[in-house]
Structure 1
Amino acid sequence: MDSGLRVLLSTVLCLSQSLLISCSSQYPSFRSEPASLVQSQGSVARLLCSVSPPSAVVSWRFGGRPLDRDTLPGVEFHDGSLTISSLQSGHVGIYQCVARLAHGPAIVSRHARVAIAEISEYENGRRRSLSVQEGSSVLIECPLPHSVPPALPRLRVRGERIEVSTDDYLVLPSGNLQILSVSDRHQGMYRCGAFNPVTGETVMQPHGTKLSVKHSVSPPPVRIVYPTAPRTVLVQQSQPLTLECVVSGSPAPAAKWLKNGKEVTPGPSQQQHNNLVFVAVARSDEGSYTCAAETKQGTVIGANYTVNVLEPASITEGPTNQIVSPGSSARFTCLATGNPSPNITWLFNADPITPSGRFQISGSSLVITDVTLQDGGVFQCILDNGIGSAQSCGILTTQTGMCLSS
């Protein structure tokens, strides 16, 4: 047989054997990964984890360390899942599910954050008084207190509870209350309130705001009542957003919105009573916004917002499976998106990789030089940016030198 043909056949045989090794070797994978949760203190919390093949052994990590009943009291394990019988402050943190096969290969899940629902009280401030000219617009500021998850507005308007907007009152997601055209019937006491949707707890402002209406022959001047100073807004991708703009005057002029100096046209956002409303924010909605109104003298006045959109970490291109010979090099790449930029952690068979002479980490890449047979296994990247977490892995197969002989 011709020597060139023998080399070709040997190469084909070598690749076939390598592919056979890669395909026939079992590696663990996740059918479902644990998800972050927020629950009431004392409730039962469950983190679900399903892996394949069935022979894979499931364990858990808490804060990056192995977890068992001794290290964290109050946890139970059943069919791969984790149950916290009574959620307490000591259980708050980051959990991960680990799937490992008897012969070594292992993977770890993305981060699952466990938090306790809570809501803070309003500050014990003084009662406020607000005197507004009849026919003008007014905003009663009711910033929501700290809450996990975010609170929903619950207001008391002249003794009556209001949760959603009415013909007279516009209840905004921030908690603020807007009255479009004030009249005598709006006089009275207004109290801010907030509701935690998980605990079911409602907190009310200790005092409130007393609104009185004054009458004048001359109409109120056109001015922007809210916001009175530039504001920066952080909003998570796909969440709703309302940029508030309250313009006084009788009648109050219609405002127009500008984004980065150009007028906003109807599309992803819609104007509602001079407010700019987004149903689901996208990264492309980031930018500088101005609410502009014109006075009777023709002067343009404005209020400014800067919108920053937070995006959960995600992987656009994960590591790919590789087959290499001992002594050669291998490179794994993990391309990511997210705002803020995610941190990347590399692991080998579920154990964090410490950069060394042979293991070099640079940006989104991991390079293994002088590969040995012991390097065969699962290389994995885990992303986290505080908004979300993701993971992806690639298998490194080392081919033996026996199949290289001709």
Structure 2
Amino acid sequence: DLTPRFTSEPSSTIQRPGGSVRLRCAAEPSAARLSWLLDGEPLESRAGEVEIQAGSLTIASLGRATAGHYQCVAAGGAGAVRSRPALVSMASLGEFEPWGQPSAVAAEEGGTALLGCKLPESHPEAQVRFQVQGRWLEQSTDNYLILPSGNLQILNVSLEDKGSYRCAAYNPLTGDLRVEPSGRKLGVTRELPRGVVEHRITQCDQRSHWVILCSTTPLEMFRTRLDEALSTPGWWEVSLQVAASSSASPTALSFSLEPPSISKGLQDEEVATGGSVQFWCEVHGSPAPNLVWLHNAAALHPSPRHLVAGSRLRIRGVAREDAGLYQCVAHNGLGFVQATARLRVQPGR
């Protein structure tokens, strides 16, 4: 009996409500039996909603009942394994938070200004647009940079840049457009205002940096940029420098983000009934990955016989029903990785 192995796994997708979705799955050997799970529960064809065919699953009209995490299960004589989860979600665009009067931002002539934009929740990620001097800016220009966070950075600020700015969010899948109710007023001076904080965030692996000047809610602005850094794997160095007029001291922070990886995977094992066996699955990543164990595509829950400690699974008093395929699955929000091994149980002597 050969161990089933996926040659094609379903992929996450976003679709507008009422749209159709097709997920694909293939496994070796060709005799492997394929089935599907939705949020961990077995899924069958439902007329007009979900159609399951050989190697594919089709959602006729995406709605709340058919959105969720889909997994393909491949089963054979050796046991069963699960594919990686594919998240099927509906496209949507939320509303901007209500604001009062436009907030004021100060910048020095010839310096750099940052105009924040707290985007509403959007699936997929919204495209940002800024109203600059009465016209809508959809892409960055030489001195107007639309950052991945949704903020607008103005380089080499001039007196002509002062005025009102507003941002908008556009969902490319639904076609919805939201404009923030109030914007920001940029004031330009010829001297650096007292109390201005400079935030410098350097992404070392891409050799790029941003310098941000902001005289309002500096800590909030710093957190916003830090959140943006956290969204991209790699080494980051973040420093917070305070103007000479402040008594605060500069601080620095270094951290890394890393998708999960398995340095020591599972190995096939053979044991007699009544004996004991253990599997090791050493995973790494930042933040620390969440580790889950599966037996024949079903979640394995700790018991007096099944002991889970860190990266080790130990089975005591092995019984015939313990035979089959075991998976260790690790994820941390940046990625998904898994390893598979087979346990053969022989009659005891």
Would the alpha carbon gap of residues 54 and 300 (structure 1) be closer, same or farther in structure 2, given more than 3 Å must change?
Answer: same
Would the alpha carbon gap of residues 300 and 165 (structure 1) be closer, same or farther in structure 2, given more than 3 Å must change?
Answer: farther
Tell me, in whole angstroms, the C-alpha distance in 1 between the residues paired with 2:24 and 2:206: 26
Which of 326, 333, 337 is the aligned partner of 2:284?
337
Would the alpha carbon gap of residues 28 and 127 (structure 1) be closer, same or farther in structure 2, given more than 3 Å must change?
Answer: same
Tell me, in whole angstroms, the C-alpha distance in 2 between the residues paired with 1:123 and 1:281: 26
Cross-structure match for 1:107: 81
Cross-structure match for 1:392: 339
Cross-structure match for 1:224: 196
Cross-structure match for 2:220: none
Would the alpha carbon gap of residues 390 and 182 (structure 1) be closer, same or farther in structure 2, given more than 3 Å must change?
Answer: closer
TM-score by length of 2: 0.80
Q: Per-residue displacement from partner, 1:205-259 (whole Å, max 9, x unpaired)?
A: 1232344556x7xx344653566xx99xxx9xx99996652278xxxxxxxxxxx
Bigger mean CA deviation after superposition, 126-135 or 73-82 = 126-135
Q: Secondary structure at the match of 1:347?
A: strand
Would the alpha carbon gap of residues 354 and 130 (structure 1) be closer, same or farther in structure 2, given more than 3 Å must change?
Answer: closer
Would the alpha carbon gap of residues 139 and 284 (structure 1) be closer, same or farther in structure 2, given more than 3 Å must change?
Answer: closer
The letter for the 1-side match of 2:143 is: D
Tell me, in whole angstroms, the C-alpha distance in 2 between the residues paired with 1:79 and 1:190: 54
Tell me, in whole angstroms, the C-alpha distance in 2 between the residues paired with 1:145 and 1:304: 31
Q: Per-residue displacement from partner, 1:62-114 (whole Å, max 9, x unpaired)?
A: 111111135x971111222211111112222211111112x462111122222
Q: Secondary structure at the match of 2:196?
A: strand
Which of 25, 28, 32 is the aligned partner of 2:8?
32
Cα deviation, residue 302, structure 1: 6.7
Would the alpha carbon gap of residues 395 and 132 (structure 1) be closer, same or farther in structure 2, given more than 3 Å must change?
Answer: closer
Which of 94, 97, 104 is the aligned partner of 1:120?
94
Cross-structure match for 1:245: 212
Which of 21, 31, 35 is the aligned partner of 1:55?
31
Tell me, in whole angstroms, the C-alpha distance in 1 between the residues paired with 2:240 and 2:259: 29
Bigger mean CA deviation after superposition, 171-180 or 128-137 = 128-137
Would the alpha carbon gap of residues 345 and 301 (structure 1) be closer, same or farther in structure 2, given more than 3 Å must change?
Answer: closer
Cross-structure match for 2:315: 368
Would the alpha carbon gap of residues 157 and 302 (structure 1) be closer, same or farther in structure 2, given more than 3 Å must change?
Answer: farther
Q: Per-residue displacement from partner, 1:346-392 (whole Å, max 9, x unpaired)?
A: 22222222333332222221112233444332122223334433322
Would the alpha carbon gap of residues 175 and 302 (structure 1) be closer, same or farther in structure 2, given more than 3 Å must change?
Answer: farther
Cross-structure match for 1:94: 69
Superposition RMSD on alpha carbons, in Å? 3.7
Tell me, in whole angstroms, the C-alpha distance in 1 between the residues paired with 2:19 and 2:86: 17
Equivalences for residues 50-199 of structure 1 within 5 A = 50-70=26-46, 74-101=49-76, 103=77, 105-128=79-102, 130=104, 132=106, 135=109, 137-199=112-174
Q: What runs of 5+ residues in structure 1 fail to find an aligned partner?
A: 1-24, 249-274
Query: In the alignment, is the contact (CA less than 8 A) between 1:45 and 1:85 conserved in 2?
Result: yes
Which of 243, 250, 263 is the aligned partner of 1:316?
263
Q: Secondary structure at the match of 1:90?
A: helix
Please say if 1:351 is aligned against 2:298. yes
Q: Secondary structure at the match of 2:65?
A: helix
Query: In the alignment, is the contact (CA less than 8 A) between 2:132 and 2:165 conserved in 1?
Result: yes
Q: Secondary structure at the match of 1:192?
A: strand
Cross-structure match for 1:4: none
Query: In the alignment, is the contact (CA less than 8 A) between 1:29 and 1:51 conserved in 2?
Result: yes
Would the alpha carbon gap of residues 30 and 128 (structure 1) be closer, same or farther in structure 2, given more than 3 Å must change?
Answer: same
Q: Secondary structure at the match of 1:185?
A: helix
Tell me, in whole angstroms, the C-alpha distance in 2 between the residues paired with 1:239 and 1:369: 50
Equivalences for residues 275-286 of structure 1 within 5 A = 281-285=232-236
Q: Per-residue displacement from partner, 1:153-206 (whole Å, max 9, x unpaired)?
A: 211101212133323323222222233344342243311112334434332112
Tell me, in whole angstroms, the C-alpha distance in 2 between the residues paired with 1:167 and 1:377: 60
TM-score by length of 1: 0.70
Query: In the alignment, is the contact (CA less than 8 A) between 1:138 and 1:225 conserved in 2?
Result: no
Please say if 1:290 is aligned against 2:239. yes
More strand by share: 2
Query: In the alignment, is the contact (CA less than 8 A) between 1:376 and 1:398 conserved in 2?
Result: yes
Please tell me whether Structure 1 or Structure 2 has the larger radius of gyration of its CA atoms: 1
Bigger mean CA deviation after superposition, 310-319 or 109-118 = 310-319
